Structure 1
Amino acid sequence: MTTTRTLDVPGARLRYEVRGSGPLLLLMGSPMDAAAFAPLAEALAGDHTVVTHDPRGISGSVLDDPEQDSTPELRADDVSALLDALEADSADVLGSSGGAVTGLALIARHPGRVRTLVAHEPPLLELLPDAAEQRAAAEDIVATFHREGVAAAWGRFMGNAGFDTGPGAAEDAPGPPPGEPSEQDLANSARFFAHELLHTSLYIPDLAALTAGPTRVVIGIGATSAGLITARTSRALSERIGTPPVEFPGDHGGFTDQPKEFAERLREVLKG
């Protein structure tokens, strides 16, 4: 059984879902919404209370000011408020992509609220040796969106990220769903490019908070992510915090196309 709830936070109203029973586990992405994590949440709900949510400005989480930027710090504050609403002092967290960056900011801004963070492929471009080049590429993707629109921006984004964008490319790669995108798909994509991409990918994590605090931090990399820029950024973060990365099924979107296998791996990792 899935319960859908809303929560008022400064500047927004968050939509979130609760499933299952057991230890509290938050699954989160950015810009991926709760629906993207539904198969994984169902696979974990037998032994966890699983909470998913739409990040502010995405899908069912509406903003007071539609032009407000989405920063990792704001999203981290939202997750802390969500824990308050759940009457939970702390929780385990799986954050994927931008959600992993949210999790990193959550540890820094709200110490002690995360027991274990599994940061799955955080796109931290500033940790790379070619950070200046990658920063320029990210800025060009945003400029492409403003100049040519969503489809052109996704094409540049996926090409720069290392995904195959040719015929027969994987359908689970980031980007608009196959077929004709809905109005919500287009709105989410526009928000991502205009108000989120740069804030997330250029975020610099607080390494001291990640290594000196009470939270156990695990960096996850997809088994087939070798050619992706997020594999590089994940390894760079692992080196900075001195812990080896952990392999998960699939690639950057492994939790969507292999949810049962991903859930089993996540259980193993959370057990330590």
Structure 2
Amino acid sequence: MQRGNRVAEGNHHGSRSRFRWHSGDAGRPSDISTHADDAAQILRTLSDTPAAVFGSSIGAVIALELLTRHPDLVRLAVVHEPPAAALLSEPERSELATAQYEIEQAHAADGVPAAMALFARLAGLAVVDREPEVDLPGPSPYRAANLEYFLTHDAPALRMYRPDTAALRARSSSIIPAAGATTTGVIALTAPALAGLLEVSIARFPGGHTGPRMSPRAYAEGLRELFQA
């Protein structure tokens, strides 16, 4: 993606979030709007022209909130399978929200491994669904801390998030919902639901819910085409 582009990568588990984590608010959910405002601050620092934005999973939800709160900063947002249950109709809405809550409960009772096992089942993750040169992420203190923070703070915020659908409809021409070709289960319904809400088409990408991580070359090529269109 860096060929011919100025690329900024945001990490919503950044130093400010970790500071909150170490400051005694261990049970407090984070806020999607705060993540969006953080992203807006980065964009304003880097450029005075609207940006093309990509977000996957919770990053896609943050991208939608960024577009809602700071529409002047975004010319195009490609959002890969935003797992916001509020985008779905019943019974799928309750199915996704319940699954997300069960992941949080598994984390509280049995820790990160139990929670991530449920997440892998929810997202239909398959370790073989990746480009040949992609290695699976190994255990590390940084990854463990990120997952701990995500499950404690971001997961509840994601489950409770309600998008401003009127604001999103007003910017529908700036939003491209994206879906993985091999994603299964209720998460696979989120991009089509968003596309239906906005009356726009879906962009299909290789891989599943973690396609941007597991099929990075093919995914980057598809993104480049969308951003340059």
CA distance in 2, matches of 1:51, 1:178: 22
Q: TM-score, normalised by structure 1?
A: 0.73
Partner residue, 1:136: 98
Partner residue, 2:122: 160
Q: 3-state SS of the aligned residue for 2:29?
A: coil
Task: Map Cα deviations across residues 83-108 of structure 1 (whole Å, 9 max, x no partner).
Answer: 12113342000111111100100111
Q: TM-score, normalised by structure 2?
A: 0.86
Q: State the structure with bigger RCO (CA 8 A, min sep 6), 1 or 2.
A: 2
Partner residue, 1:8: none
Q: 3-state SS of the aligned residue for 2:55?
A: strand
Partner residue, 1:65: 20
Q: 1:100 aligns with which of 60, 71, 75?
A: 60
Is 1:257 matched up with 2:214?
yes
Contact 1:96–1:122 under 8 Å retained in 2: yes
Partner residue, 2:153: 195
Amino acid at match of 2:104: V
Q: 1:78 aligns with which of 34, 38, 63?
A: 38
Which stretches of structure 1, 4 residues or longer, exceed 3 Å deviation after superposition? 59-64, 169-172
Partner residue, 1:186: 144
Structure 1 unaligned residues grouped into runs of 5+: 1-43
Higher mean alpha-carbon deviation, 155-164 vs 143-152, is at: 155-164
Partner residue, 2:50: 90
Is 1:148 matched up with 2:89?
no
CA distance in 1, matches of 2:5, 2:83: 27
Q: 3-state SS of the aligned residue for 1:247?
A: strand
Q: 3-state SS of the aligned residue for 1:199?
A: helix
CA distance in 1, matches of 2:87, 2:17: 32
Contact 2:95–2:186 under 8 Å retained in 1: no
CA distance in 2, matches of 1:149, 1:171: 26
Contact 1:222–1:249 under 8 Å retained in 2: yes
Partner residue, 1:15: none
Amino acid at match of 2:206: P
Q: Which one has the bigger strand percentage?
A: 1
Q: Which one has the bigger helix percentage?
A: 2
Task: Identify if the C-alpha distance between structure 1 residues 135 and 270 changes in structure 2 by more than 3 Å, giving closer, same or farther.
Answer: same
Amino acid at match of 2:38: D
Amino acid at match of 1:49: R
Task: Identify if the C-alpha distance between structure 1 residues 236 and 138 changes in structure 2 by more than 3 Å, giving closer, same or farther.
Answer: same
Amino acid at match of 2:176: V
Task: Map Cα deviations across residues 169-226 of structure 1 (whole Å, 9 max, x no partner).
Answer: 4476xxxx554x212111111111111112124322212212213861000111222x
Instruction: Please give the root-mean-square deviation of Cα atoms over the aligned residues, in Å.
Output: 2.1
The alpha-carbon deviation at position 77 of structure 1 amounts to 0.1
| Matched residues, number | 217
Task: Identify if the C-alpha distance between structure 1 residues 178 and 264 changes in structure 2 by more than 3 Å, giving closer, same or farther.
Answer: closer
Amino acid at match of 1:162: G
Q: 3-state SS of the aligned residue for 1:137?
A: helix
